[in-house]
Amino acid sequence: MTTTKQHGGIGARLRRGVEPAVLLGPGLLFYAVLVAVPVLLVTGYMFATRGRFGGVEWELGLDNFTRVTDSVYLEVFRESLGLALLATLLALLIGYPTAYAIAKLPPRWRTVALVLVVVPFWTNFLIRVYAWIVLLNSQGLLNDLLVGIGVTDDRFTLLYTPGAVVVGLVYSYLPLMILPLYAAIEKVDDDLLEASADLGAGRVRTFLGVQLPLTLPGVVTGSILVFVPSLGNFVVPELLGGGKTVMVGNLIRDQFLKAQDWPFGSVLAMMVVVLLVLLFLGQAWVTRRVEGGARG
Amino acid sequence: MHTTNRRPGRTAAAAVLGTALTLVLAACGGDDSSSAEPTALDPDADLSTQSIVVSNWEAYMPDDIADVVKEKTGATVEITYHATNEDMVAKVTGSGGEGLDVVFGSQPYLEALAKAGMLEPLDTDFLDNWGNLETAATDTAEVDGDAYWAPYTWGTTGICYRADLVDEAPTSWYDLLEPSAANQGKVTMMGTERWAMLPALKALGYSVNTTDEDELAEAKDLMVAAKPNLLAYDDSTFYERLISGEATMTEAWDGWCNYGTGEDENIKFVVPEEGSDLWTDGIAVLKSSESKEAAYAFIDTILDAETHAWVEENILYNIPNEAALELVPAEVTDAYETLGTRREEMLAGENMTDVGDDAAAIYNQIITEVTAS
Amino acid sequence: MASGTRRSGLGWLWLPLVLCAAFLYLPILVLVVMSFNGGGSAYSWDGFSLRWYDELLHDDVLLESVVTSLGIAAGATVIATVLGTLLAVGLARHTRSRLLEAAAMAPAILPDLVLAIGLLSFFYAAGIPKSAGTVLLAHAAFGTAFVVAVVRSRLAGSDAALEEASRDLGAGALSTFVLITLPSIAPAVVAGALLVFTLSLDEFVIAYFTAGPTTKTLPITVYSMVRTGVTPEINALATVLVVVSVVVVVVAARAIRPKEKS
């Protein structure tokens, strides 16, 4: 392998110095202004006091932090985590067998299946949530079905419940679970599974002992892709929750656009960010361990 | 080799970050002071060169108002919509008023904006049709002696219900807060803070403008207890829910309820015995507007007897315009009692005003905590 | 999957596959069917009619918002693709910093709500009035991260040998970039651009927070429509969007044609 070349002369050195600046400069500048500054601003807002109509008064203090420890807000956090986790779990339970099934289809059909999985995802997100408003409505189709079959005479209120919110979240992000799972399952070498069976392990043991660990990175990726948008979501709880199921996303939205308490909203938002950063660190750790283990 | 290459990128980023931060901090510091003086208006301004942006609720004014204004005055009108008062306030304050000239809003919110210096005090001499308005209404539009908006509609809040789906017609706010078993899960209340608190406050016998913390705490407890009985918090689709039968009783404004009555005769409106509010909606001009003459022309067109009469006929809300009232056909006032025989009910209501900065924050907090409970 | 004996068919896996398909498509089916409803309700069928499509075509606000969305998407795509590609190449060839790489892709991983409130605060504090332009910038910001991710992963495997060779032969940095680097990453750049375009069209949260009082993107308009109530016009819109996305995805899938291991 050749050593790194010195192309002689100050002119060349300068060129070498300019090139990374030209490549990295514009993008980083753009980021600095439109991503770094906003994030820093929000971090600063955490310590400020609300302006009457939005914006902040720069009277610094820790009031917002003490307010967030109020049981009401912690309860909202807890509920949001719970709903996001539930949605992720359901997506996993539905997604894994589906991805597995797709991986076992003949190649031509696999593409078709993947296309079919992706199409709903490329339909406008709001419309997909709206579809569930129509379906779950007490005057809607699902209730018609239930009454028609004779399961019940009364019309259930399926809509405007936490359950409806979970369904909406799963529906919105299921394709994001299926795709990484499919990619991970597809990579698993059949020989390994055969070997496990040859050694006497039953189907379940093979699955738990060989397949699942090998596809774990896919599971983790898919879970994150569902969990993150679910946690910060406000559209689904608003439209399907009827204003009764408040998730942390709704709180943040309300602080910024209704109650005009930007500092408090900033604290809430930052708590979500911190939570997610911890999650990513956890994911990196898991991935490293699995890949280390597989190689070992 | 690599250190030489990494430095340009890094230093560039750091330099930019520093500059941007300084910019931002500098921007944070500035604050506009605003005077309470009406801007001097030019009576001979050529309106055909002016254009305004108006924000209103959907279907809350004549569809062709932009064309009518253009014909009458030459000014161009662009219309945009907001779904709630808070949306409107966020729009106005979010950009310091840029991009908007005229807003429709409810009294408490317009009052707050006026006190914050965002609204233009109206020079009523410039509005030919100002005299059409009832003094009871124009009195509510004054802040510190100046009128800040033109009253557009007014009314009261009550229970809009399906007479055929309830065993007994509701008579009290408690029918909504503590519904009978048959109505459990089939009632809605509003989610906009002032009207969300109204049923509880009135049920407990308190003022709708109270700032007393104990009273507010009591109301909050009542609302938290009421939440499990609700179908949903709804500010904008409640009459549809009545029509479809999803809901049997809803907290609603009288005009909204008329929409329902128009579709289904079984939908009726009642003002609970504990009393209710008298709310007013008005049209305000933003201080930041650069086309104030056109804005005034717009308002004047609406206050014209014919146009304003159209509003009551078609939007089915009460209007505070004496001249226009004479033009409203009898069929309309006969068909919709709140516009006709029961008009007095609304005037008995307690005028809903701004409660001030601090109290408004408390109202907000209560609603946040109630809906999150 | 290597050997053939395990591919013995799906067995019981057919069940979850079918159930999942039903779950994904039943709501869409209902939407499409009810878009042809003669009556005004989205729940009860009242005869076949195309009236809602007619309403859709005459809905000026909606059509205007489609145009706005397309414009914003186009602008954001251009900015994001250019900046993102440059950034990706710069990261691949000139730095070993994992932190910088993570930072470059951070906007794609942060919840959109956090970015949205940050940008709202920024524009407010900087005194920049919100408009379609601010939405464009916002979309470009998070779009850049996606382009970086896509192009970067393409570059991850490749080494700089070709480029070094080109420089040895005397070509300047710019010609090397245009004639050697770009062609080799072209598919990734195109994929990134398409990704940003599609994301921008469908993006709601950031647009909602950074739009001006009169800016209406398609998702924002749909949101107001949905909040105001349930009408079959939304169903008609949904059907149109579904058809469009089917066409787009099928075309894209054909064009990309993954190389299957047999």
pLDDT in tens, C109-156: 788 999 999 999 999 888 888 889 999 999 999 899 989 988 888 887
The predicted model gives A250-254 an average pLDDT of 91
CATH 3.40.190.10 placement within chain B? 47-155+279-341, 157-275+354-372
Kindly tell me if the per-residue pLDDT of C249 is higher than 80. Answer: no
User: Which of the two residues, A20 and C189, has the higher pLDDT score?
Assistant: C189
What fold does the segment set B157-275+354-372 form as a domain? D-Maltodextrin-Binding Protein; domain 2 (3.40.190)
Nearest to C121 among A45, A135, A249 (CB): A45
259-278 in chain B: CB under 8 A from chain A: none
Kindly tell me if the per-residue pLDDT of B224 is higher than 90. Answer: yes
Separation of alpha carbons B108 and B91, rounded Å: 16
Residue-wise pLDDT for B112-158, tens only, equals 999 988 899 999 888 889 999 998 899 999 888 889 999 999 999 99
Report the SS3 class of residue B189: strand
Cβ separation of B5 and C95 shorter than 8 Å?
Answer: yes
The predicted model gives C146-171 an average pLDDT of 80
Task: Phi first, then psi: give them for residue A205, nearest 5 degrees.
Answer: -65, -40
Q: To probe the interface with C, which of A105, A111, A134, A181 has the most C CB atoms within 10 Å?
A: A134
139-168 in chain C: CB under 8 A from chain B: none
Q: In this structure, what DSSP letter does residue B120 have?
A: P
CATH number for the domain running over C60-217:
1.10.3720.10
How far apart, in Å, are the Cα atoms of B269 and each of B259, B260, B275, B336, C83? 11, 10, 14, 10, 59
Question: Contacts of residue A2 in chain C, CB cutoff 8 Å?
Answer: 164
Separation of alpha carbons A173 and A171, rounded Å: 6
Nearest to B99 among C100, C122, C214 (CB): C214
Is A2 inside a domain boundary?
Answer: no
pLDDT band at A15 (very low <50, low <70, confident <90, very high): low
Q: C118 vs chain A: nearest CA distance in angstroms? A: 4
B·C CB contacts under 8 A: 69
Residue-wise pLDDT for C28-84, tens only, equals 888 888 888 877 776 677 788 888 898 888 888 888 999 999 999 999 999 999 999
Write down the pLDDT at residue B25. Answer: 53
Nearest to B6 among C95, C228, C229 (CB): C95
Cβ separation of B93 and A75 shorter than 8 Å?
Answer: no
Nearest to B94 among A4, A54, A56 (CB): A54
Cβ separation of C214 and B78 shorter than 8 Å?
Answer: yes
Kindly tell me if the per-residue pLDDT of A82 is higher than 80. Answer: yes
Q: In this structure, what DSSP letter does residue B105 have?
A: E
Report the SS3 class of residue B230: strand
Report the SS3 class of residue C40: coil
**Interface contact C224, partner B, CB < 8 A:** yes
Q: C10 vs chain B: nearest CA distance in angstroms? A: 43
**Interface contact A78, partner B, CB < 8 A:** no
Cβ separation of C229 and B28 shorter than 8 Å?
Answer: no
Write down the pLDDT at residue B256. Answer: 87
Domain of A216, in residue numbers? 70-295
238-257 in chain A: CB under 8 A from chain B: 242-244, 246, 251, 254, 257
CB of B129 closer than 8 Å to CB of B298? no
Predicted interface score ipTM higher than 0.90: no
Q: C99 vs chain A: nearest CA distance in angstroms? A: 13
Total structural domains within chain A = 1
208-247 in chain B: CB under 8 A from chain A: 227, 230-234, 244-246
Question: Contacts of residue C122 in chain B, CB cutoff 8 Å?
Answer: 24
Nearest to C228 among B6, B28, B237 (CB): B237
Kindly tell me if the per-residue pLDDT of B4 is higher than 60. Answer: no
pLDDT band at B3 (very low <50, low <70, confident <90, very high): very low
Q: B333 vs chain C: nearest CA distance in angstroms? A: 27
Cβ separation of C229 and B9 shorter than 8 Å?
Answer: no
Nearest CA in chain B to A39: B21
Any chains having at least 3 CB pairs less than 8 A from chain C are A, B
Cβ separation of A34 and C122 shorter than 8 Å?
Answer: yes
Separation of alpha carbons B296 and C53, rounded Å: 39
Write down the pLDDT at residue B216. Answer: 94
User: Across all residues in chain C, what is the average pLDDT?
Assistant: 83
Is A54 inside a domain boundary?
Answer: no
Q: To probe the interface with B, which of C37, C91, C134, C224 has the most B CB atoms within 10 Å?
A: C224
Kindly tell me if the per-residue pLDDT of A155 is higher than 70. Answer: no
Cβ separation of A21 and B245 shorter than 8 Å?
Answer: no
CB of B9 closer than 8 Å to CB of C94? yes
Helices (H) and strands (E) in chain C — how many of each?
12, 0
Q: B78 vs chain A: nearest CA distance in angstroms? A: 23
Cβ separation of A28 and B234 shorter than 8 Å?
Answer: no
Nearest to C129 among B80, B99, B240 (CB): B99
CB of A91 closer than 8 Å to CB of A167? no
Report the SS3 class of residue B231: strand
Write down the pLDDT at residue A220. Answer: 86
For the B47-155+279-341 domain, the top CATH level (class) is alpha beta
Which residues make Cβ contacts (< 8 Å) with residue B110, sequence separation at least 6?
B103, B119, B141, B148, B149, B282, B284
Residues C104, A236, A78: CA angle, nearest 5 degrees: 80
| Burial of A10 from C-beta contacts in 10 A (0-12 / 13-18 / 19+) | exposed
User: Which of the two residues, A2 and A61, has the higher pLDDT score?
Assistant: A61
Nearest to A39 among C118, C125, C148 (CB): C118
Any chains having at least 3 CB pairs less than 8 A from chain B are A, C
The domain spans of chain C are 60-217
Is A27 inside a domain boundary?
Answer: no
Write down the pLDDT at residue C90. Answer: 85
Cβ separation of B6 and C97 shorter than 8 Å?
Answer: yes
Kindly tell me if the per-residue pLDDT of A213 is higher than 60. Answer: yes
Which pair of tokens denotes residue C160?
Answer: 């700089």
Question: Contacts of residue C207 in chain A, CB cutoff 8 Å?
Answer: none
Cβ separation of B232 and A242 shorter than 8 Å?
Answer: yes
Q: C213 vs chain B: nearest CA distance in angstroms? A: 6
Nearest to B1 among A4, A32, A73 (CB): A4
**Out of A69-78, B19-28, B362-371, least confident range:** B19-28
**Out of A173-177, B3-7, B189-193, C72-76, least confident range:** B3-7
pLDDT band at B27 (very low <50, low <70, confident <90, very high): very low
| Alpha helices (H) in B130-253, listed in sequence order | 135-140, 174-177, 193-203, 213-226, 238-244
Cβ separation of A133 and C28 shorter than 8 Å?
Answer: no
C229: left (phi over 0), alpha (psi -120 to 50) or beta: left
A·C CB contacts under 8 A: 262
The CATH number linked to A146 is 1.10.3720.10
Separation of alpha carbons B309 and B319, rounded Å: 8
Tokens 């909204």, located at residue: B256
Nearest CA in chain B to A3: B1
Write down the pLDDT at residue B196. Answer: 92
Is A226 inside a domain boundary?
Answer: yes
Nearest to A194 among C3, C13, C118 (CB): C3
What sign does the dihedral A58-A62-A66-A72 (CA atoms) show? positive
Beta bridge partners of A179: none
93-112 in chain C: CB under 8 A from chain B: 94-97, 100
CB of A90 closer than 8 Å to CB of A166? yes
**Interface contact A190, partner C, CB < 8 A:** yes
**Interface contact A74, partner B, CB < 8 A:** no
Write down the pLDDT at residue A34. Answer: 92
Separation of alpha carbons B373 and A79, rounded Å: 10
pLDDT band at B12 (very low <50, low <70, confident <90, very high): very low
**Out of B96-105, B319-328, C114-123, C171-180, least confident range:** C171-180
| Alpha helices (H) in A4-159, listed in sequence order | 9-31, 37-45, 63-68, 71-104, 107-122, 125-136, 141-149
pLDDT band at B280 (very low <50, low <70, confident <90, very high): very high
CB of A171 closer than 8 Å to CB of C27? yes
